[in-house]
Structure 1
């Protein structure tokens, strides 16, 4: 059975849209585009 008191104690409300947007944009993650740009830059610098 679900222990509602325990579940309520663990509950964390989700971020508001503005807070979530800020958290996402402030996350400096490397993606595939960044990797490809770096590879192309290195290849161009070798020439």
Structure 2
């Protein structure tokens, strides 16, 4: 029978997973919120330039 508690204590995550996790968390990604914010900023600036 497998002793799950013992196996969990011996578990070591692979370096590939840790490297991938660091790359994902440290990479500045543009998401939908960033895009919408930029579009709204552009619309407001263009509206003010047109006198609206």
Aligned to 2:35: 35
1:1-47 maps to which residues of 2 (within 5 A)?
A: 13=14, 14-15=17-18, 20=21, 22-47=22-47
- Rg: which structure is higher? 2
- Name the Cα RMSD after superposition: 2.2
When you count helix as a share of all residues, which structure comes out higher? 2
Aligned residues: 32
5+ residue gaps, structure 1: 1-12
TM-score for both structures, normalised by structure 1: 0.52
